[in-house]
Every structure is written in C-alpha cells, then in structure tokens.
Amino acid sequence: MLSPAVKSDIRACYQTLQDQLPHFIPRKAQNYLVAELAKTLAGDYAPKRRLLVAEAGTGVGKSMAYLMGAIPFALNNNKKVVISTATVALQEQLANKDIPFFHRICPKPFDFILAKGRQRYCCAHKLSAVADMESIQGALFTQKPKRNEQLSLNDLYAALSRGKWDGDRDSWPKPIADHLWQAIASDKHTCHAGLPAHRACPFAKAREAMDKADVVVVNHSLLLADLELGGGVILPEPEQCLYMIDEAHHLPTVARDFSAASASLLGVVSWLEKLNQTTTKLGNTADIKRAHRFVDSLLDAIQTLIPGLREVKQQLSQLPLNNDGCYRFADGELPDALISPSEQLKTASKKAHQALGKIHDLINERLKENDISAKLADPALAETAFFLQRLENLEKVWTLMAQPNSDKGAPLARWVRACREREGDLWIHVSPLEVGWRLDQMLWSRAAGVGLFSATLRALNRFSYFCRQVGLSETDGSRYLALPSPFDYPNKARLVIPTMPCEPQASDFTDVLSDKILEHLEGERASLVLFASYWQMQQVTKAIESTCKQRGWQLLCQGSQSRPGLLKAHQQAVNADKTSIIFGTGSFSEGLDLPGNLLTNLIITKIPFAVPTSPVEEAHAEYIERCGGNPFLQIAVPEASKKLVQSVGRLLRKEEDSGKVVLLDRRIITRRYGQSLLDSLPPFTRVIEP
C-alpha cells in the first residue's frame, strides 16, 4: 500500500508546483498518472508485478508526472530512480530543466546525475601520456598527431589538470576529432579504478558520483549495456531500481539492435594476423613464464580462426547476392556446409578472447605490483584492449551464428553483405527478430518497479502490438493507461482528406502530389510537408521550387542544411510575416517542435507504410507468414498507425495552437484497414472531400 509519508510528499510537491507557477493549470490526466504510477510502484494492484504502461498524449505533462510519482516513493523506500530516454534532446531537458525544477519543489533532498557511457569520457592517464609530444606513445595512435592536433591534446590535458574540464567529451566547447578521441577515450580493459594511475580518471569520478545519486538519467543504449552485462555493473542493481522509461516506443528497436552483431571476414583476418605477430611480445610483457600457456592458447586459436574465416568467406562468395549486395538465409537457417565451421569459429574466438584476457590481466597485475614500468605496460595494455574489443565482438557474432533456431520462438535473422570499403570482402550479420523475452528476463522480472511512457505506445488503439514487442502481456498483472491529450482537437484542428485522382501506387502519383501540395500551400504562412521517401521529396522539390520562388515562398528541404539551421531559418521567416515551408521525411515526424504560428498547415503525402526492405524486416515477415499470419496486418498496419499518430502530433504542441492536417492518401477511407487508422488519430474535425 502507498504509505502516508509518500502521499504527503507527493501532495507537498504538487502544492509547491502550484505556488511556483503562477499560470499553472491543473491537468486531470497528469494527476491521474501521478497517482496510478505511485500506486503501481507500491504494489497496490499487483505486489509481484509493479509495472505501468502509460500512453500520454501531447500536453499531459508526463515527465513531471513520473518525477512526482516515482522520486518521492523511491526516497521513502530506499530505492533509486533510473530514467531512460531515446534522444539526447529529452535527456538534456530532464537533466537541465525538469529535474532541477522538481528538485526545488520536492520536500526531501536528492542527488541526480546524467550518466553516460564510458566512451564519452577521456582517460586521464592516456591523455597525460599523449600530451607531451616528445614522449608520445605510438601504440595509442596509428600515426603521430599533427602539430595542431598535438596542441589540442595539450589544451585538453591542461584543462583537465586544472579542474577546468571534467573529461566529458560533450562538455568540451569545441569538437574533438574522432581519431584523437579514440586514443584518449576510457575503455573497460585499461581504464579502471583498481589501478592507482586510473583512480582519478573522469569516468571513475563520474561513476562515484552516480553511485551516490538518487536519480540517474541514461539513454536506452546505456540501460541495455548494463542489462546485457547482468545488471548492476554500470548502473545500480535492477532490484534496487525504479525504471522510468520515456520514449518507450523506441525500446524494442534499440534492444534488437543492441543484441545484433556483425563482422567482416577479411577485415577480421587482417587484424588477427597483426595479433599473431605481436602475441609473443605481449606475452613477454606479461612475463612469459606465467603467460606461456595463454600465449600458446592464443596462437593456437588464431591458427584455427584465420583459415576458418577464409574457408567461410570462400563458401559465402558462391552465394547469389541481390542488387544491394546482400544475401539472406531463408528462415535464418544456415546451409549444412556452414554449421560445423560456425561451431569451430565460435569455439576458437572464445578461446582467443579468454587467452588474451589472461595476458592482459597479467600485464595489469605486474603494473599494479610495480614489477613493470608504466612506460612499458601502457602501450601493451592499449594494444591488448584494442584486440580484446574486437575478439569480444567476434565471439558474439559466431556464438549467434552457431546458435540453433528454437522450435518455439522466432529464428535469428542471418545474412551476408558485400563490403563496400574492401573489394572481395563480406560482412556477416546476425540479429534476433524478437527481444521481448530478453527484456522480461533482464528487466521486467527483476526491477523493483517500472514505468513505460510515450505519446505513441498503442497501435490501432490497442497496446497488444507494443506488448508483443517488449515481452509483456495485457493479462500479466501490468497496469495499462491511455491518457488523452488535454487539447481541444475538434475546435482547434481539422483533418482534411482531399479528392485525389489516384492512389500512391499509381505511376503518376508524384506528379499529382506536386499539384496538390501547391494547392494546399496557398494562403498558408507556416507549413510542414512530410514525405514517405527521400526520392519523392526531391522529385516534388524540383517540380515546385521555381513556383515557390516566384511566389516569394521560402522552401526548406531536409538535408539542405542542419536540422537546427533549417528550423532557425523557418522561424525567422515566419516571424517576419513571410511564407515558409519545410519538406521532410519520416525522421521529421518525431521530435520536431513547432509551436504556435510556426506550424498551422501540416501536409502528409501518404500513409507511412514501411516496406520490409532490411534483412531483419524481411525475415520477420517471412516468420509471420510461416506461422500462418499476415505480415501486412500484423506489422505494417500497426507500425503505420503509430507513425501516423506521431506525424499528426506535429501540429498542436500547446493548448492554444490551431491548424489543419491534410492527408493526400485516400486509402484511409477506401480500404478496410483505413477506418482503424482513422479511429486511432486524435478527434480532429474531419473534412472528407468526395
């Protein structure tokens, strides 16, 4: 049950919120979300399933709701709150605006931190080693830095030494070149607090601060990185955490991509040959008397891997690649000739990874015991770290490739692709199709409590599609809420479906679009036009740009400049009472904020159906068909529903906004699935032309 102390703290937060915001308007949906989240975390509904899935429309104020529902509960129950987002923009909003504000209104003090992956921090020890041009350590660079690059490294070192910089790449005022950053970035193999030289490293300090924090903000990738390691390695233990997962509609894709692996064949052979040449030297640095068996084991594994990879490459070269240079194994099944080699490569890569890990540990041990100088150990550790990272990935690839498909669940997608960078080489890829069971195993069944939030979790007005993706069930005791936006859609916006001479499949649809778009731009000051493909956007741009110029309209096309630059140009034109039009593709249907007069006319060229073109999408469709299902109805329509809701969500961003949405695709009223798509949209006033 929710304790009186938690209730009291939530009420106090809410009262202070009203006091601090003179124009604060209470929102029923927000209040309800706060209460339902707190009760779910307290186990009021299901003591063994403290999980809430909440779709909250634009304007509900979901960020403040989950802060108010989760933080007071965590502080009163000795738990930590981990807030995970998909985008940097929301992370920064939470860390720099929302949480600091909530910190001021919360009756109990708490510490919070924005946590980042290790690779975002420099290693102080590596930086000091490269800051002096005379003693520059070659192993850290493939080629010696140029003079201006060396000066940049010196500036970084000076700022870090004086406490003017915290070692976070994102907080340095100027961009840091990738090749420089790779040489000084923290990595798990060489930079850990157990070594005296690394105790003051920026990542060690950040980790120490995170351990003390009550609220930790992360991105989905960092959350999954911790869970893949077993949980509690990077972030606090799942059993001690209340996870507030915002932008949760991205979680299935991020989780799937995180579980996938890939490697080139000849590229791997190339670095294995280098490792073969340097193994004995590394063994000597580690003390050959203690390391000889690991050196022998590593050399033996390499002698299996190199010819094995060449043999696999020879077999795969016979496969008929498609026009994209790709071949996908039907049903994820490897041919018999590849099963045994995959097993051998799995065993050999694991053996190599373990052996090099032991050599690395012995070098570390000698360094810790002052049995070897840092000048000798550091280049060796940098080298072993470089190869360990690659062997770790290689082991993952071949472990997945050798894994037999389960009779119960979905198979793995397996495919090869021609390497563009290296002629004659092939990339091998493997990816799960479904990750829900892994999320359940790693997170839902272990966490102290979970909240999943987004403005678009439902597809076709149901949670079932999202549940399947993330391993939940509508009957497993989890709590589900669909909270409507407070916006007055019927009086503030219209959905117009014009008469169209043809449907999107027609060959002349692009020409028709050009005319129709011009027609619906007439008399509008601020417009956004969303296209389903980049090609179609470019074709329409070519067709109408001269007309736009003649009429004095500013046409801004995605890709012509950076997104912030494009939005700034649009805002300046609209504020100067000029007509401005933005052309964009699917990425502009999410996270684009154009409130008030910056957007009053939204044109969507077609229902955003995704064609399954990637090997993973093709494999998923194939699996559904094999199970007797319909990929179009089970994947394409639900996904289109979510994307369409996201797209129309660009129009009204604040309660006082108004405008119209024009959908140039009449399939929404002529096809059987159309009514379901239409019903999933906000309740705009509908104008359907005959």
Arithmetic mean of pLDDT, 673-677: 96
The pLDDT, as a whole number, for residue 136 is 47
Given a cut of 90, whether residue 126 has pLDDT beyond it is no
Residue 420 in contact with residue 213, Cβ under 8 Å?
Answer: no
Arithmetic mean of pLDDT, 192-209: 80
Domain 489-688 matching CATH 3.40.120.10: the answer reads no
Sheet-wide strand order for 326-328: 261-264, 426-432, 412-418, 326-328
Arithmetic mean of pLDDT, 626-645: 96
Q: How confident is the model at residue 194 (pLDDT cuts 50, 70, 90)?
A: low
Q: What percent of the chain has pLDDT over 90?
A: 83
* Max Cα–Cα distance, the chain, nearest Å: 87
Domain range annotation of the chain: 4-110+214-255+448-483, 118-207, 261-432, 489-688
Given a cut of 70, whether residue 132 has pLDDT beyond it is no
Q: 581: which residues sit within 8 A by CB, 6+ positions away?
A: 521, 527, 528, 529, 548, 553, 554, 555, 556
The more confident residue out of 591 and 594 is: 594
Arithmetic mean of pLDDT, 203-213: 91
Stretch among 23-32, 341-350, 523-532 having the lowest mean pLDDT: 23-32
Given a cut of 60, whether residue 142 has pLDDT beyond it is no
The pLDDT, as a whole number, for residue 651 is 97
Span 14-49, pLDDT tens digits: 999 999 888 888 899 999 999 999 999 999 999 999
The more confident residue out of 128 and 294 is: 294
Pairing verdict, β 659-663 and 601-604:
parallel
Residue 436 in contact with residue 468, Cβ under 8 Å?
Answer: yes
Given a cut of 50, whether residue 178 has pLDDT beyond it is yes
Indicate the SS3 state at residue 103: helix
The pLDDT, as a whole number, for residue 198 is 72
Span 392-413, pLDDT tens digits: 999 999 999 999 988 788 999 9
Span 67-84, pLDDT tens digits: 999 999 999 999 999 999
Given a cut of 60, whether residue 603 has pLDDT beyond it is yes
pTM over 0.95? The answer is no
CATH fold of 4-110+214-255+448-483 reads: Rossmann fold (3.40.50)
Q: 318: which residues sit within 8 A by CB, 6+ positions away?
A: none
Same fold, 4-110+214-255+448-483 and 489-688: yes
